[in-house]
Amino acid sequence: SKHSIEKQTAMNVDCFTTVSEITAQECKELIGRPVDVVLPNGFENDFVPKAATFTKKRKEARKILLHLANCLTGCQFDDNTLIIGTSGRYEFRNKGIDVFVEAMNRLNRDSRLGKNVVAFVQVPAWVGNAREDLKERYDSGKTFDTPLDVPMVSHWLHNMDQDNVLSMMKYNDMWNRKEDKVKLIFLPCYLTGNDGIINKPYYDLIIGIDLSIYPSYYEPWGYTPLESVAFKVPCITTDLAGFGLWANSEKGAYSEIEDGVKTVHRTDYNYSEVADVIKDTVAKFSNMSESQIKKARSNADKLSKKALWSEFIKYYWQAYDFALRSKK
């Protein structure tokens, strides 16, 4: 019945729209009517700090994330550490969380990796309580040289033995050992500023990340990578995300990490290849010079400004015009 309502609506509206080229293809195949206008999702970047405040908040965020990693793992992390993150709803396959974990597992064994890596999965799960042992360490402000038990999750879950991220980490023997160059940490709570340990909102943390990864298997648009580049954080996404296709269209070819966004080709059948491309891209990024990284961050920022509502509103004017002309 839902499909029937959608189809009848699409067939009878004066202007049929959708948010990306990905969903435009779906509309043509599943509903049987091509869209009249694609309306990409814009945003306002007033949540991004400016100038000196940006620099200050970035330093604070890095300090928080690296302190949390030390409290969990007992490992020391200097400011040269590469901080990586993924975030979004807990759709393990659709959001590409599975391939993210796999890529980090492979990266740990890649001899080309030029820096130590701390990777965060910032995805709300069936969270129970903040860990008291971690909270005690975190609040002390001290540095530690021994790991906590289960040194890869910040909050206890109701389903520790069934959770997809933790299960995959255990299967891959990812225990954040001292000798591991890649440490993967699961932050399974809503980052609203009152999680019980960090107590910082999401935007106050993403600003401290060096590289974000959103390897979506299905994503109509993709606000998370757009938010990432708005904070000058280069990101990796796929061409199964509307944002990834848009980034490609802006370049006129597949976008690379030097452009601020790396768009990976993804299909139903190339999971392993995608994991390898992500691994290779992170290894490459870890060896880029300071000036190269600065350029990639600048390109990410420039791309985000092309997605402001002031840029995308023109597509809405086209849609309104189309609808009015169709009505006559």
The domain that holds 279 is classified in CATH as 3.40.50.2000
pLDDT the model gives residue 2:
85
**Residue 328's pLDDT is what?**
65
The pTM of this model reads 0.96
What integer pLDDT is reported at residue 1 of this predicted model?
79
- What digits encode the pLDDT tens for the residues 204-244? 999 999 999 999 999 999 999 999 999 999 999 999 999 99
Structural domain of residue 323, as residue ranges?
2-41+311-327
Q: What is the pLDDT of residue 263?
A: 98
Closest to 217 (Cα-Cα) out of 267, 278, 276:
267
pLDDT under 70 in the chain at which residues? 328
13 with 123, same domain?
Answer: no
Same domain, 80 and 16: no
Q: Is 206 strand, coil or helix?
A: helix
Q: Which amino acid, one-letter code, is at 41?
A: N
Sheet holding 211-213, edge to edge: 182-187, 117-122, 82-87, 211-213, 235-238, 261-264
Do 111 and 24 sit in the same domain of this protein? Answer: no
> Is 256 domain-assigned?
yes
First to last CA, the chain: 31
- Please report whether residue 248 resides in a domain: yes
Do 103 and 27 lie in a common domain?
Answer: no
Say yes or no: 318 and 276 in one domain: no
- Are both 154 and 236 inside the same structural domain? yes
Total count of domains within the chain: 2
What residues contact 223, with CB distance under 8 A and at least 6 apart? 41, 43, 243
Residue-level pLDDT at 189: 97
Query: What's residue 3's pLDDT?
Result: 83
Q: Please give the single-letter amino acid code of residue 42.
A: G
Q: Residues 194, 113: one domain?
A: yes
One domain for residues 170 and 32: no
Residues 37 and 184 in one domain: no
Q: What is the dihedral of CA 242, 57, 80, 210, to 10 degrees?
A: 0
- The answer to whether residue 46 is domain-embedded is no
Are 60 and 37 contained in the same domain?
no
